[in-house]
Amino acid sequence: MITYLSNNGDTVLAALRQHIVLALLPVLIGFLVALPAGYLGVRYPWLYHPLINTCGVLYSIPSLALFVFLPVILGTKILSPLNIVVALTVYTVALLTRTVADGLRSVDELVVQSATAMGYRRFRRLVDVQLPVALPVILAGLRVATVANISLVSVGALIGVGGLGQLFTRGFQLFYIQPILVGIILSVLLAAVADLAIVLIQRAVTPWTRFQTGERGPA
Amino acid sequence: MITFDEVVKVYPGSTAVDHLSLELPTGKTTVLVGPSGCGKTTSLRMINRMVGPTSGRVLIDGRDVAGQDEALLRRGIGYVIQHAGLFPHRTVLDNVATVPMLLGSSRRERRAAALELLERVGLSAEFAERYPAQLSGGQQQRVGVARALAADPPIMLMDEPFSAVDPIVREGLHREFLRLQKDLGKTIVMVTHDIDEAIKLGDLVAILRQGGHLAQFGTPRELLEHPVDEFVAEFVGRDRGLRSLSFDAADDLPVRPVTEAVGAGLVLDEAGRPTGWQTAAGLEATGGTFRTGDSLRLVIDLAIGSPAGIAVRVGPDGAADGIVHHHDLVDHLAARRGRRAAEPSA
């Protein structure tokens, strides 16, 4: 495997770089779309169920089918990385919209009321109180979306763009185990590192959650 | 002054508040009390526009709240909510400093002020950097009160502020509330379902009945001594006669010299402080003493509780300086009844 890596270092590195971009760019875009979408589902309660159901349907579309059909809908070339980005963004939005909505709904109504009573206006209350308190739920969803995206990118190799997935297809074509092993190890590592990074971010930005189920002092 | 002028709030299928007219005086604590569904919380929330009236007006110092900017109005009115409603993601200090932050005061300024307030509500500086989840219910409620006071608003609204804590903690919070209010003199509107709390804490009490009707509005003493109807009489409770004795100071009671009690078995230490009663069964604890300014009710309670039928008064140094005998109490109550019969009723 060492020999394979030293002979094909550039290829592997390029595949890894592409994998990271293809997986994480949709997380970023998806998060930015899901934030307002999820908020609308909470702000207008009648919208919640239609929104959640739509997300459920979107998420159930098989990824390969989406990769193949997107060029038809978007008018892109079949080999364009844009197809993968758009497809994974769709999945991320589907996953995170629900997460954001449920996170905001998990915020204690008394906390929202007391924020209102103290003179918060709607937007600042969302940014200063509701979103921070919903953050643990939202970040948990973000972890799922990130890891799912990292594994889904490989499927894109079947239509020619797939980051580390291309190492799998190459291995299969050449009946050669080394690139497949390298691909598997690197994508698992990538998922683990991304997951850990989010956990560390969560610890840093929500220090208060450590006490949520902790012991209470005497009255 | 807060004025309710013919205020009506109708929800689909029910009337929460029905033509409520009330004047809540500046610098006093007014308690809205009644059974659930009497519209007391709805009425409270109309003061800071959390709820808008269907018709009628709510005025603060003559200005209709309906015409004022919601957020700015609320920043000028303290609000204490049931269970405190603290922000779980902010430290105690930052929770307290919330309204000053919204008003734009500097970080240093507002944190210094918040620290002072924490002390004021009986929490030491060590709590400042904790999160609400690290506090007990009673401590959270104190932080809630400090947070409402942070911008020094002239008006405080309190929605069942002490209902979520156990009776012993509540007792302590009541005492501190009365002490704080004596210092601060805020215009306070409090909602509770507990008539005893209302009578203890309120300068004025408005009793509301189901459907948002005002049953009676007056001082606790008026409510106890002259309830306008069956509903109010029932609501203030059966032992209202005894409880109304809480409003009479015991100062004009005939006080006898301590030596008479010593003959009846009172044991004093070298400094003259009462330590107990000598009875056939041995030394029995005094069960409490009273001071000048305490209520007639307390003195009667002590006399009933003591084995000799004697309530012991102590001076500032804790030494016994007089006693009240239960025979004298009976005469005093008879004289009190005679005086009250001569007064015109309120």
Least confident of B37-51, B104-118, B270-284: B270-284
In angstroms, the separation between the Cα of residue A97 and the nearest Cα of chain B is 22
Report chain A residues whose CB lies below 8 A from the CB of B139: 217, 219
| Predicted confidence (pLDDT) at residue B346 exceeds the cutoff of 60 | no
C-alpha–C-alpha distance, residues B262 and B280, integer Å = 15
Position A31 scores a pLDDT of 95
Report chain B residues whose CB lies below 8 A from the CB of A207: 131
In a mutagenesis test of the B interface, which of A104, A107, A116, A118 is the best target, namely the one with the most B β-carbons within 10 Å? A118
Question: What is the 8-class DSSP label of residue B154?
Answer: S
Burial label, A73 (beta-carbon count in 10 A; 0-12, 13-18, 19+) = exposed
Characterise B206 by phi-psi region: left (phi > 0), alpha (psi -120 to 50), beta (else): beta
In angstroms, the separation between the Cα of residue A126 and the nearest Cα of chain B is 13
Nearest Cβ partner for B98 among A113, A118, A121 = A118
Tens digit of pLDDT for each residue in B193-241? 988 899 989 999 999 998 889 999 999 989 988 899 989 988 887 677 7
Q: What is the mean pLDDT of chain B?
A: 89
Tens digit of pLDDT for each residue in B308-324? 888 999 888 888 888 99
| Predicted confidence (pLDDT) at residue B47 exceeds the cutoff of 90 | yes
Coil, strand or helix at B40: helix
C-alpha–C-alpha distance, residues A22 and B148, integer Å = 50
Nearest Cβ partner for A118 among B84, B99, B131 = B99
Q: Mean pLDDT over residues B22-49, rounded?
A: 93
Report chain B residues whose CB lies below 8 A from the CB of A203: none
Q: Which residues of A touch B (CB under 8 A)?
A: 108, 110-111, 113-121, 129, 132-133, 135, 206-208, 211-212, 214, 216-219
Other C-beta atoms closer than 10 Å to the C-beta of B337 total: 10
Position A214 scores a pLDDT of 45
Nearest Cβ partner for B133 among A113, A132, A211 = A211
Position B304 scores a pLDDT of 87
State ipTM.
0.82
Tokens 């497809």: give the residue.
Answer: A87
Tell me the count of A-B CB pairs closer than 8 A. 85
Position A213 scores a pLDDT of 61
Please list the pLDDT of chain A residue by residue as tens digits (219 residues): 677 777 777 888 888 888 898 889 999 999 999 999 999 999 999 999 999 999 999 988 888 888 888 888 888 887 788 888 888 999 999 999 999 999 999 999 999 999 999 999 999 999 999 999 999 999 999 999 999 999 888 887 777 777 888 888 888 888 888 888 888 888 899 999 999 999 999 999 998 888 876 444 333
Position A115 scores a pLDDT of 96
Position B248 scores a pLDDT of 81
* Higher-scoring residue by pLDDT: A12, B123: B123
Question: What is the 8-class DSSP label of residue A61?
Answer: S
φ, ψ dihedrals at B78, nearest 5°: -70, 145
C-alpha–C-alpha distance, residues A218 and B281, integer Å = 38
CB B75 within 8 A of CB B18: no
In angstroms, the separation between the Cα of residue B78 and the nearest Cα of chain A is 7
Coil, strand or helix at B278: strand
Q: Do B48 and A114 touch (CB under 8 A)?
A: no
| Predicted confidence (pLDDT) at residue B141 exceeds the cutoff of 70 | yes
Nearest Cβ partner for B85 among A114, A120, A207 = A114
Chain A residue whose CA is closest to B51: A117
| Max CA separation in chain B (angstroms) | 73
Burial label, B4 (beta-carbon count in 10 A; 0-12, 13-18, 19+) = buried
Nearest Cβ partner for A133 among B50, B71, B88 = B88
Listed in sequence order, the residues at least 6 apart from B176 whose beta carbon sits closer than 8 Å to its beta carbon are B121, B122, B142
Position B26 scores a pLDDT of 95
The predicted model scores a pTM of 0.79
* Higher-scoring residue by pLDDT: A138, B261: A138
Q: Do A117 and B74 touch (CB under 8 A)?
A: yes
CA angle B32-B38-B40, nearest 5°?
Answer: 35
Report chain A residues whose CB lies below 8 A from the CB of B136: 216-219
CB B239 within 8 A of CB B300: no
